[in-house]
Chains A and B, each alone.
Chain A
Amino acid sequence: MKRKILSMLLVLCMVLSLAACKNNDSADTANDAKTTDNAGNTAGTAQVPDKVVATGTYDTLVIGTSSFNGVFNPMFSFSAFDSQVSDLIFATVSWLDPQGALIDDAGHVETEEIPAADGHTQVKYTVSIKPDMKFSDGEPVTIDDVLFYYYVISDPTYDGSSTFSTLDIVGMKDYYYDTPDYSEQLSKITKEVEDKYSLDKISEEAYKAYLRDTKLDGWWEGIDSYDWAGYLKEEGYDPTGIEKDEEKLFEMLVDCEYTKYHDSYDPQSYYQDKLEGEYIKGNLEDGVDVPEISGIKRVDDYTCTVLFDSPNISGDKQVAWIPIVPKHYYGADFSKGSLDGIKAFNGTPLGGGPYKFVSYQDNIVSLEANTLFWDEIPKIPTVKFQVVSQDDQVDSVINGDIDITDPSASKEVIEQLESAGMAYSLVDNPGYGYIAVNAEKIPDVNVRKGLMHLMNRTPAVESYYGELAQVIERPMSTTIAEYPHDAKEFYGYDPDKALEYFTAAGYAKDANGKLAKDGEQLKITIGIGGDGTMNHPSAPILTQMANDLQSMGAELIIQDIDASTLFDLMDAGELDMWVAAWSNATDCDLTQMFGSKGNDNNVHLYSDEIDKLQAEILKTVDFDKRCELVAQELDLIMDAAVYMPVYQRKNMEIYNTTTINMDTLPETTTTFWNYVKEINKLELN
């Protein structure tokens, strides 16, 4: 009996395992079948394209990349690796030349300044595409495809990375908020707020409601967050008996702030935002009222115009540096507010670029040459993107598994490549590393300047990167055309000077040898994302800074934390200082980082002078004049001592010389121009 049970049991185990195996098999096949199906669809509707035949021994170019999210849709992808794939599948209207200037690709853009009815200057962009182009499924490309793209990225429910909807395009706000007379309504709200809530007109009730809702504009963080009773006593109030009663104490504070500091708060902006927010919310839920953006007009089958209400230095890039996506494929059932139909095609892209999508499986994306491409047809029949872990990138090229990839540049990698006879190129990364100081946490500019004088950047950057990075002097990527290359060092490393600034700020050594002011030691907390091992180019700067501060009697607390925690603490304003880097810089607009209302103004720099300059820069179309203004702006930012630019590093691209015909690579590779731009000319051996 026992044996029987045991053997039954074993059989059961086997069956279970096999069943699991079988399920797995069928899932695998289903997966395969689906991919083939998609490929079939793509090929099926095409006009029987002739295949491209390999010119040499190799017929497949393998590009090494990092893991995909599978969103191969330029409208919705957030991953740079997904975009790498879509870059080959979609043609663009215009793109950037090796120096980063906008040039024609499959289309053209004309800029024209025109006076509006009320006299202010508007800018009209005329976007045109080449006639007689076709998508890879044989359907013609028309301007409707461009318009379709504009409408998708302007949609109120759009959640991709484009910021097109924030542009000052005529009618954009009406469309986005779905309100026919948005500006009129907005000015009505503004007027109402001015009449009811400006400092001299606001009622006591409304003012106190504002103080309660905003918790004294964020000052009140609970009963234990400050010595409230002491504060109230100083202000002449008597909180005796209610020190522990949160509600009553808060109410007394509200009364105190209303009575004594009426002019120091800004209830007007609060009510403006509140009413605007309520109004906008109310409008999105009652069906589509504004079906079109009035400033975007179709002219003919191959031309459209986009009207900006004010000049914008990157307006031409915003309207023309865009992929051409087929409306007939993605947007057959597109209507305002519903993008799900478009997202359904995220995994099976279709465009008019040099290559077309075949499949995505086993962590490999396969593409084949698009014989309907408008320009010179590619010479390599198949391109595959293979996911390779960062540690294997170089070895995979050397052992012949992949042909092109972009490892992070280091001295070791260069040596390894040179000894293996492989080729590489180095270009500036469109971003830079920096150390930031929160001006709200360290309000005294002298303390900030003192800290700046303790940052010894050159040895740190040289030891980490060697020649693969350079120290920069202003907070802007050197790849931006407006970067002032002649800028001099603003704060040199000089501990004596630093001490002078700390002294000027009122700090002095106390009896215990501590650098203190009003009995409080100078203590700074700085966050850095160094993988827990201080593995970061800026780490030596901090270590030296900590030592210098310690010898002065002050303290630097270094928190080596995970990047997402770092950004969270930074957003919450809990760090005095932090180390980070910017990437993907495309223009000289710094309003988000250093403007008073900027979303990324985490250093809390509020300067009317800088705001004014920024507004002027964005309207200055003349390049030389703009450079001057940018240099001024950057000097002001440096003088505020909130940002210490550290390094501008280089990006690397490596090539397998065995498989690639090196003569067919682009003559110059820059930040804005690489083999992808000339993939149709690239040949394999």
Chain B
Amino acid sequence: MRQYIVRRLFISIIVLFGVSVMLYLLGRLTPGDYVTSITAGNPNITVEMQERMREVYGLDKGIVEGYLNWLWDALRGDFGLSFLYQKPVTEIIMRYVPITFTLAFSAMVFEILLAIPFGIIAARKQYSRTDYFIVAVALVGISLPSFFFAAILKRIFAIGLGVLPLSGMVNARAGYTGWARIADIGKHLVLPVTVFVVTGVGGLLRYVRTNMLEVLNADYVRTARAKGVPEYKVIGKHAFRNTLIPIVTMVGNMIPGLFSGAVITEGIFSLEGLGNIAIKAVQSGDIPYLMGFNMFIAVLTIIGTLISDILYAVVDPRVRYS
């Protein structure tokens, strides 16, 4: 096992290197660099000023030289200053992680809380009305575009009924502090989290349902039933626990998603999360931020898959890595 982990870590380094080369290439080859984007529309900027600015931002260097400079700094933990925010990339990421994480994590918790029981119910009553209803609702959720669903929610709950805030993180006018502030943030997150949950729960629910169906048809469940074990015990002890195994391994894969942000939903609700920042960075050619942020996500993805692979081996004795 240890050998396997070491080998995987070693491969991860090569993967990260490849990812960084590709990201840098893509970033630099995107039409319009940062200097063009900030000086566009300003008729007084001269070519010379633009060139001087490119020098300041290191954009005058070739792609290879620029990449090697970035790599050298990054290896020493320096991801540079974001062009847009004029602050260290790591500081920007740390500043916006809480918002993104709170949103994604609470959505994930609700998704799990809904997906597991409803998935089990749907599986137990396969092909019944309940099953069809649950699966249909899940499919509707998957198919709903988030911007459309968000607009409907806003129209009903914020504009129509006026019970929930339209957008933002807190009520600016009230300026709450302490617990009142936390409650205020909670209130502001209700709609965005609902959008996440409704559009995201379907996938997980169908996964639970399929797994449960498989387990319910297994011999040991039939044996348990034949032994006269009460149904709730058959489901709760024998079947459910085995369904959890693949779900637990899925958690690893979900880690990067907690930090990557959701461009559309964050934008609609004016939440300054990492997704929103990333799209702004793409539009304006903020190479240091894009590199720092994407590498952060790449590392998380690699760690996530590694963890889930390891967990899988731990959970399922049939899987052995050598």
Residues of A that sit less than 8 Å from B by CB: 5-6, 9-10, 13, 16-17, 20-21, 24-25, 27-28, 31, 58, 60, 62, 67-71, 76, 78, 156-157, 159, 161, 163, 165-166, 343, 346-347, 362-364, 366, 382, 384, 386-389, 391-392, 395-396, 399, 401-402, 564-565, 567-569, 571, 582-585, 589-590, 592-593, 599-600
**CB nearest to B181 among chain A residues:** A362
* 6 tightest A-B CB contacts, nearest first: A568-B31, A564-B32, A362-B169, A163-B44, A386-B172, A384-B172
User: A69: which B residues are within 8 A, CB to CB?
Assistant: 84-86
Q: List 30 A-B contacts (CB under 8 A).
A: A6-B241, A13-B251, A24-B98, A27-B98, A28-B98, A31-B98, A68-B272, A69-B85, A70-B87, A161-B39, A161-B42, A163-B45, A347-B87, A362-B169, A362-B170, A366-B175, A384-B172, A386-B172, A387-B168, A388-B167, A391-B151, A395-B154, A399-B158, A399-B162, A401-B171, A401-B172, A564-B32, A584-B41, A592-B46, A599-B45
Q: Are B267 and A389 in contact (CB under 8 A)?
A: yes
Choose one: B40, B95, B170; the contact of A567 (CB below 8 Å): B40
User: B84: which A residues are within 8 A, CB to CB?
Assistant: 69
A-B interface contact total, Cβ < 8 Å:
166
User: Closest CB of chain B to A338's CB: distance in Å?
Assistant: 12
User: A592: which B residues are within 8 A, CB to CB?
Assistant: 43-46
- Which B residues between 143 and 176 are near A, CB-CB below 8 angstroms? 151, 154, 158-159, 162, 165-173, 175
Stretch of B3-11, B51-59, B202-210 contacting A (4+ beta carbons < 8 Å) = B51-59
Q: Evaluate whether A389 and B270 lie within 8 angstroms (CB atoms) in the complex, with A384-B173, A599-B45 already known.
A: yes
How long is the Cα–Cα vector from A443 to B173 in the complex, in angstroms?
Answer: 59
**CB nearest to B271 among chain A residues:** A363
User: B86: which A residues are within 8 A, CB to CB?
Assistant: 69-71, 76, 343, 346
How long is the Cα–Cα vector from A362 to B53 in the complex, in angstroms?
Answer: 31
Q: Are A159 and B56 in contact (CB under 8 A)?
A: yes
Q: Evaluate whether A599 and B50 lie within 8 angstroms (CB atoms) in the complex, with A13-B248, A391-B268, A401-B172 already known.
A: yes
Q: Evaluate whether A10 and B248 lie within 8 angstroms (CB atoms) in the complex, with A27-B94, A565-B32 already known.
A: yes
Q: Are A593 and B43 in contact (CB under 8 A)?
A: yes
**CB nearest to B31 among chain A residues:** A568
Known contacts A24-B98, A389-B267, A395-B159; 13 further A-B pairs (Cβ under 8 A): A13-B248, A24-B97, A27-B94, A159-B53, A159-B57, A166-B48, A362-B170, A363-B271, A386-B172, A399-B158, A564-B31, A567-B32, A582-B43
User: A584: which B residues are within 8 A, CB to CB?
Assistant: 41-42
User: Closest CB of chain A to B216's CB: distance in Å?
Assistant: 19
User: Closest CB of chain A to B300's CB: distance in Å?
Assistant: 11
**CB nearest to B272 among chain A residues:** A363
Q: Are B46 and A166 in contact (CB under 8 A)?
A: yes
**CB nearest to A318 among chain B residues:** B44
Q: Are B248 and A387 in contact (CB under 8 A)?
A: no
Q: Is B126 an interface residue (CB 8 A)?
A: no
User: B173: which A residues are within 8 A, CB to CB?
Assistant: 58, 60, 62, 384, 401
How long is the Cα–Cα vector from A450 to B170 in the complex, in angstroms?
Answer: 57
How long is the Cα–Cα vector from A148 to B46 in the complex, in angstroms?
Answer: 23
How long is the Cα–Cα vector from A582 to B269 in the complex, in angstroms?
Answer: 30
User: B85: which A residues are within 8 A, CB to CB?
Assistant: 69-71
Q: Mark B236-277, 1 if CB is under 8 A from A, else 0.
A: 000001001100100100000010000000011111100010
How long is the Cα–Cα vector from A593 to B32 in the complex, in angstroms?
Answer: 19
Residues of B that sit less than 8 Å from A by CB: 30-32, 36-50, 52-53, 56-57, 84-87, 94-95, 97-98, 101-102, 105, 151, 154, 158-159, 162, 165-173, 175, 185, 241, 244-245, 248, 251, 258, 267-272, 276, 280, 283, 311, 314-315
Specify the main secondary structure of chain B where it touches its partner.
helix
How long is the Cα–Cα vector from A392 to B315 in the complex, in angstroms?
Answer: 48
User: Closest CB of chain B to A196's CB: distance in Å?
Assistant: 24
User: B47: which A residues are within 8 A, CB to CB?
Assistant: 599
User: B56: which A residues are within 8 A, CB to CB?
Assistant: 157, 159
How long is the Cα–Cα vector from A70 to B286 in the complex, in angstroms?
Answer: 15
Q: Are B44 and A60 in contact (CB under 8 A)?
A: no
Q: Are A396 and B42 in contact (CB under 8 A)?
A: no
User: Closest CB of chain B to A528's CB: distance in Å?
Assistant: 16
How long is the Cα–Cα vector from A389 to B265 in the complex, in angstroms?
Answer: 11
User: A382: which B residues are within 8 A, CB to CB?
Assistant: 175
Q: Evaluate whether A166 and B98 lie within 8 angstroms (CB atoms) in the complex, with A78-B38, A392-B270, A592-B43 already known.
A: no
Q: Evaluate whether A384 and B175 lie within 8 angstroms (CB atoms) in the complex, with A27-B94, A564-B31, A585-B43 already known.
A: yes
User: Closest CB of chain B to A80's CB: distance in Å?
Assistant: 11
User: Closest CB of chain B to A674's CB: distance in Å?
Assistant: 20
How long is the Cα–Cα vector from A60 to B49 in the complex, in angstroms?
Answer: 41
How long is the Cα–Cα vector from A569 to B31 in the complex, in angstroms?
Answer: 8
User: A589: which B residues are within 8 A, CB to CB?
Assistant: 43-44
User: A392: which B residues are within 8 A, CB to CB?
Assistant: 154, 166-167, 270
User: Closest CB of chain A to B257's CB: distance in Å?
Assistant: 12
User: A590: which B residues are within 8 A, CB to CB?
Assistant: 43
How long is the Cα–Cα vector from A590 to B158 in the complex, in angstroms?
Answer: 48
How long is the Cα–Cα vector from A399 to B162 in the complex, in angstroms?
Answer: 8
User: B49: which A residues are within 8 A, CB to CB?
Assistant: 163, 165-166
Q: Are B32 and A388 in contact (CB under 8 A)?
A: no
User: A10: which B residues are within 8 A, CB to CB?
Assistant: 244, 248
Q: Are B97 and A67 in contact (CB under 8 A)?
A: no
Q: Are A20 and B105 in contact (CB under 8 A)?
A: yes
User: B268: which A residues are within 8 A, CB to CB?
Assistant: 389, 391
User: A6: which B residues are within 8 A, CB to CB?
Assistant: 241, 244-245, 315
Q: Are A364 and B170 in contact (CB under 8 A)?
A: yes
User: Closest CB of chain B to A663's CB: distance in Å?
Assistant: 21
User: Closest CB of chain B to A315's CB: distance in Å?
Assistant: 13
**Residue of A78, A161, A382, A565 with highest tally of chain B CB at under 10 A:** A78
How long is the Cα–Cα vector from A58 to B202 in the complex, in angstroms?
Answer: 45
User: A396: which B residues are within 8 A, CB to CB?
Assistant: 166-167
Choose one: B269, B272, B314; the contact of A5 (CB below 8 Å): B314
Q: Evaluate whether A399 and B159 lie within 8 angstroms (CB atoms) in the complex, with A567-B36, A582-B41 already known.
A: yes
User: B269: which A residues are within 8 A, CB to CB?
Assistant: 389
User: B102: which A residues are within 8 A, CB to CB?
Assistant: 24
User: Closest CB of chain A to B58's CB: distance in Å?
Assistant: 11
Choose one: B154, B175, B314; the contact of A60 (CB below 8 Å): B175
User: Closest CB of chain B to A151's CB: distance in Å?
Assistant: 16
Q: Evaluate whether A24 and B280 lie within 8 angstroms (CB atoms) in the complex, with A568-B32, A584-B42 already known.
A: no
User: A78: which B residues are within 8 A, CB to CB?
Assistant: 38
User: A569: which B residues are within 8 A, CB to CB?
Assistant: 31
User: Closest CB of chain A to B154's CB: distance in Å?
Assistant: 8
User: A5: which B residues are within 8 A, CB to CB?
Assistant: 314-315
How long is the Cα–Cα vector from A70 to B88 in the complex, in angstroms?
Answer: 13
User: Closest CB of chain B to A487's CB: distance in Å?
Assistant: 20
Q: Are B172 and A402 in contact (CB under 8 A)?
A: yes
**CB nearest to B43 among chain A residues:** A592
How long is the Cα–Cα vector from A391 to B147 in the complex, in angstroms?
Answer: 11
Q: Are A161 and B46 in contact (CB under 8 A)?
A: no
**Residue of A402, A567, A599 with highest tally of chain B CB at under 10 A:** A599
**CB nearest to A593 among chain B residues:** B43
User: A568: which B residues are within 8 A, CB to CB?
Assistant: 31-32, 36
How long is the Cα–Cα vector from A67 to B53 in the complex, in angstroms?
Answer: 24
User: Closest CB of chain A to B224's CB: distance in Å?
Assistant: 15
User: B44: which A residues are within 8 A, CB to CB?
Assistant: 163, 166, 589, 592
User: B87: which A residues are within 8 A, CB to CB?
Assistant: 70, 346-347
Choose one: B31, B97, B175, B248; the contact of A565 (CB below 8 Å): B31
How long is the Cα–Cα vector from A440 to B56 in the complex, in angstroms?
Answer: 32
User: Closest CB of chain B to A683's CB: distance in Å?
Assistant: 16
How long is the Cα–Cα vector from A159 to B59 in the complex, in angstroms?
Answer: 13
User: B175: which A residues are within 8 A, CB to CB?
Assistant: 60, 366, 382, 384
**Residue of B87, B158, B172, B244 with highest tally of chain A CB at under 10 A:** B172
How long is the Cα–Cα vector from A565 to B171 in the complex, in angstroms?
Answer: 38
Q: Are A388 and B41 in contact (CB under 8 A)?
A: no
User: B154: which A residues are within 8 A, CB to CB?
Assistant: 392, 395
User: B38: which A residues are within 8 A, CB to CB?
Assistant: 78, 161
User: A384: which B residues are within 8 A, CB to CB?
Assistant: 172-173, 175
